[in-house]
Chains A and B, each alone.
Chain A
Amino acid sequence: MREPEFTPSSAVRPRSFVFVESPWRQYLLAFLTFVAASMLNLLLLERWLGYQAIALVYLLSVVVVSLFIGRGPILLGTLLTAAGWNYFFAPPRFAFNIYDTYDNMMLATYFVVTLTVGHLTTHLRAERLAEQEREERASALYQLTRDLADAANLDDIFCRVVRQVEIFFEAQVALLLPGRHLADGLTPYTASTWAPKENEASVAALALAQNQPTGSGTETFPEAEGMYWPLGVGGVPAGVMALRFKTRVALTRSQRNLLENFVRQIALILDRQRLRDVESKHKFLAESERLGRTLLNSVSHELRTPIAAIASAASGLQVAPGLAPAQINLVAEIEAANNRLNRVVQSLLSAARLQSGQLRPKLDWCEVSDLVQVALRSDEGVTGERPVQVRIAPGLPLIKMDFVLMEQVLVNLLLNAVVHTPPGTAIEINARREGGQFILEVADSGPGLPPDQLERVFDLFHRAPNSKRGGTGLGLAIVKGFVEAQGGRVQAANRPSGGAIFTIQLPVADAPELPAEIL
């Protein structure tokens, strides 16, 4: 990373001409000028010049020195030189009396000229100063904007901001960001050169909340040590900039304007950075989702292909002519094992899809009786020889759900009942509407669920203690995931008459529009 360029403080404030800043020194300079001019006149020039020309030398000295001093010292210089001329040179010498009208006019003109020149140079100097200050402000802002635009990241930005503000306002700077520093006792951002005291946290928080500067130099908590500026453009401020000025002098209006401009620039950059962060986060999420999908697809392909090959080969064998009965039975075992393997793989893939949030249910109008029939028949009859009683309330409307997911839900619940109840146990499927809810129940009259397990049966990989071997602990988790993905709920309970009951609730959508012919 290249070193950021910083203009040293002295170069930022170029002195275009020498101006003695201390007022005391200005008066001293005026006095010394008077002494020097008097010596010159008394010891040297008096021999060759008349007393009136001496006045011009005094005038010249005052005009020259007025370039370097302010109005008051000029007045002092004028008074001293006028008095000196009057006392030492104008007749009568060594007295303050003047009788000559000509000399009186000379003295009056002398005052008018020196005071006018003094006024003009002071005015000119003020103009120059103001101009210089405007220039400084413009170049400061330019410098800041350029620095911020060059900055590579948030840390770099803060580093540059702190340095620039330090230079222009002779203040120590701390940057406070909400969520990161405002809450935890005002630890400032790393680049900061100052840490506001803990008790000023509320002042900083107020600046953030009211989106107005607070603290020293403002109307809110002026006794605070630091000045707190919210960093915001329009909307919610992104943070607070805290300043502690080295001299506790109130900011001038132009300094305040400059600071306001600084704050605006910083806020703009922060906003831009925030948008950029959000964008890259989105990109990252999309990318990782794509990766997950690719992985899932290739794993699913690798697992399913051999299963498909086994299924194809075994089913081909089974119809092959001339197999002995024992061989036919062996092939049937291969097929059964393969079906079981296929179900496990299918469950694992479904669970993976659920976990990775890649399940997108396709909700469409479905007919419940059709759904139940399809589920009962899938996998060549999941319920085997068990008696299944289906009760669908007459007049049940079409329900908006994902047919394929619901088929899997029903199959999993039926398989669960088959695994956990003795052979021959009856299974019931009930469907009805209760208010705005569609209720689908799968119930058995087996041993039921341990009461302390009712909440946990839907957990991924959860298996009831003492339950028979078989099953992966995935089936009910998938049921829950699939139902919830469709905006529904599922509950497990024990029936009063014995046996477990699983209840699915799905919202009933407004009845679909139907053609007039069948109404």
Chain B
Amino acid sequence: MSAIVPPPVSVLIVDDEPQIQRLLTITLEANGYRVTPAVDGKQGLATAAQQRHDAVILDLGLPDINGLEVLQQLREWTQTPVIVLTVQDEEADKIKALDCGADDYVTKPFKTGELLARLRAALRRANKGPSDDEPVFRFGDVEANLAERRVTRGGQPVKLTVTEYALLRYFILHAGKVLTHRQILTEVWGPDHQEKTAYLRVYLVRLREKLEANPVAPAMFLTEPGVGYRLAEP
């Protein structure tokens, strides 16, 4: 009798640099993933349409089609998690990619461990059905029960304003994912307030003061410079 082996997780890598392509393939295959390479945007889109992949790693600097364009076309028909590879100084591209539906980004040069962690987190979020949502989020001594709208820290109830709670809830529902300023503002304050970054900054200070063990060196609400915030996964 043989044990039922689950099929390996398949990842599509769209990158025009052969060396990066090879390195990613080696690393991912060593960690049990099945890899399909694509050398440019067109091939990437065609491959994605031909066979199902569990995740896509997409370089934004492609020679033929802009990586953002590839992302937009992918998002027209699939919700497969997409992790984009970018370079420093291109915060605008990172934001655009996230707003277009990318799940995460990794800035080159990156460490293999970092990429693998991001990939695992994205896959986990994607495989979690809506009904699997845990009503209780725990981080350190903080416990948030979304079903009961109750937040405690060290067993003591924490008083949150309506907006603070709405913000926390949005973070918890997307724990581990980078959320852009625009996404958070649109979701919590509404589409008319997309540019009001000052709101967000002030509320983040409040939430950190109320929930972080050390508000000056936050471990829970992490800043993604120039892009947005990420709620650390427990």
Residues of A contacting B24 in the complex (Cβ-Cβ under 8 angstroms): 312
Q: Is B50 an interface residue (CB 8 A)?
A: no
Chain A residues within an 8 Å CB radius of B64: none
| One of A56-64, A271-279, A359-367 at the interface | A359-367
* Contact call A315/B111, Cβ cutoff below 8 A: yes
Shortest B185–chain A CB gap in Å is 12
Q: Could you give, for residues 69-93 of chain B, a 1 whenever the CB lies within 8 Å of some chain A CB and a 0 otherwise?
A: 0000000000000000001110110
Q: Which 7 residue pairs across A and B have the least CB separation, nearest first?
A: A311-B109, A512-B198, A315-B111, A404-B226, A308-B108, A308-B109, A365-B198
Q: Pick out which of these stretches binds chain A: B41-49, B122-130, B142-150, B202-210.
A: B202-210
Question: Would you call B202 and A514 a contact (CB within 8 A)?
Answer: yes
> Which residues of chain B are within 8 angstroms of A398 by Cβ–Cβ distance?
198, 201-202
Of B27, B89, B161, the residue contacting A316 (CB under 8 A) is B27
A369 touching B216 by the CB < 8 A rule?
Answer: yes
Chain B nearest CB, measured from A284 CB (Å) = 26
Q: Which residues on the A side are within 8 Å of B198 (C-beta)?
A: 365, 398, 512-514
Say whether A518 contacts B111, CB under 8 Å.
no
What residues of B have a CB within 8 angstroms of the CB of A373 in the complex? 216-218, 223
CB distance from B231 to the nearest CB of A (A): 15
Interface 1/0 per residue, B108-124 and A, CB below 8 Å: 11111111000000000
DSSP majority for the B interface? helix
A156 at the A/B interface (Cβ < 8 Å)? no
Q: Tell me, in angstroms, the Cα distance from A153 to B172 when the chains sit together.
A: 69
* A300 proximity list for chain B (CB < 8 A): 87
Interface status of B61 (Cβ within 8 A of chain A): yes
Least CB distance from B221 to A in Å reads: 10
Is B234 positioned at the interface, with any CB of A under 8 Å from its CB?
A: no
Q: Does A517 count as interface, using CB distance less than 8 angstroms?
A: yes
Whether B201 and A319, one on each chain, are in contact in the complex, defined by CB atoms closer than 8 angstroms, is no
List residues of chain A with CB within 8 A of the CB of B217.
Answer: 373
Chain A residue numbers with a CB within 8 Å of B91 are 362, 404
- Taking a contact as CB atoms closer than 8 A, the residue among A313, A319, A369 that contacts B23 in the complex is A313
Q: Contact at B88–A346, with CB atoms within 8 Å?
A: yes
Docked-complex contact A515 and B199, CB < 8 angstroms: yes
Q: On chain B, which size bracket covers the interface? A: 35 or more
Residue of B nearest to A346 (CB): B88
Closest A residue to B203 by beta carbon equals A518
Q: Which residues of B contact A349 (CB under 8 A)?
A: 89
The answer to whether A304 and B111 have CB atoms under 8 Å apart is no
Given A305-B19, A374-B225, A512-B198, 13 more A-B residue pairs with CB atoms under 8 Å apart are A304-B109, A308-B109, A308-B110, A309-B23, A312-B23, A315-B110, A316-B23, A342-B109, A362-B91, A370-B223, A373-B218, A404-B226, A518-B202
Q: Is the CB of A304 within 8 A of B216?
A: no
Q: In the complex, which residue of chain B has the Cβ closest to the Cβ of A400?
A: B198
Task: List 5 interface pairs A-B (beta carbons < 8 Å), by A numbering.
Answer: A304-B108, A308-B20, A311-B108, A365-B198, A515-B163
Q: Is the CB of A374 within 8 A of B87?
A: no
Q: In the assembly, what is the distance between CA of A191 and CA of B87, in Å?
A: 57
B225 and A305 contact, CB distance less than 8 A: no
The residue in chain A whose Cβ has the minimal distance to the Cβ of B224 is A374
Residue of A nearest to B199 (CB): A515
Known A313-B23, A316-B26, A404-B226; contact A301-B61, beta-carbon cutoff 8 A: yes
**Also in contact, A366 and B87, with CB within 8 A (given A307-B109, A374-B225, A517-B161):** no
Q: Are A370 and B23 in touch, CB under 8 angstroms?
A: no
Of the candidates A305, A312, A402, which one forms a contact with B112 in the assembled complex, judged by CB atoms under 8 Å apart?
Answer: A312
**Interface membership of chain B positions 163-207, coded 1 if the CB is closer than 8 angstroms to chain A and 0 otherwise:** 100000000000000000000000000000000111101111110
CB-CB contacts of A501-512 with B at 8 A, as 1s and 0s? 000000000001
Kindly state whether residue A158 has any CB partner on chain B within 8 Å.
Answer: no
**Is B162 an interface residue when CB atoms closer than 8 A count as contact?**
yes
Best-buried of B23, B198, B199 by chain A (most CB within 10 Å): B198
The chain A residue sitting closest to B109, CB to CB, is A311
Least Cβ–Cβ distance between B115 and chain A, in angstroms: 8
Quick check: is A390 within 8 A (CB to CB) of the other chain?
A: yes
**A371-411 toward B: CB 8 Å interface, digit per residue (1/0)?**
00110001000000000001000000010001110010000
Per the bound structure, the CA–CA distance linking A515 and B197 in Å amounts to: 12
In the bound complex, how far is the Cα of B109 from the Cα of A300, in angstroms?
A: 12
- Which chain B positions have C-beta within 8 A of A517? 161-163
Determine whether B233 belongs to the interface, using a CB cutoff of 8 Å to chain A: no
Q: Is A310 an interface residue (CB 8 A)?
A: yes
Is A212 interfacial (CB 8 A cutoff)? no
Instruction: Return the chain B residue nearest A305 by Cβ.
Output: B17
Return A402 CB to nearest CB of chain B, in Å.
Answer: 8
Q: How far is the CA of A362 from the CA of B109 in the complex (A)?
A: 24
| Residue of B whose beta carbon sits closest to that of A349 | B89
Q: Which residues of A contact B108 (CB under 8 A)?
A: 304-305, 307-308, 311
CA distance A398 to B199 in the complex (A): 10
- Known: A312-B23, A390-B216, A404-B225. Is A364-B197 also a contact (CB below 8 A)? yes
Most buried by B among A311, A342, A346, A378: A311
A312 touches B225 (CB 8 A): no
Shortest distance between the CB of A428 and any CB in chain B (Å) = 15
Given the complex, which residues of A lie within 8 Å of B205, measured CB to CB? 367, 369
Whether B206 and A518, one on each chain, are in contact in the complex, defined by CB atoms closer than 8 angstroms, is yes
Docked CA distance A514–B203 (Å): 10
Closest-by-CB residue of B relative to A407 is B225
Q: How far is the CA of A113 from the CA of B170 in the complex (A)?
A: 115
Least CB distance from A100 to B in Å reads 116
| Nearest chain B CB to A358 CB, angstrom units | 10
Q: How far is the CA of A402 from the CA of B204 in the complex (A)?
A: 18
Q: Does A338 contact B (CB under 8 A)?
A: yes
- Output the nearest chain A residue to B111 by Cβ-Cβ distance: A315
The distance in angstroms between the C-alpha atoms of A290 and B54, with both chains bound, is 39
Instruction: Please give me the residue from chain B that is nearest to A320 by CB atom.
Output: B30
A478 to chain B, nearest CB (A): 12
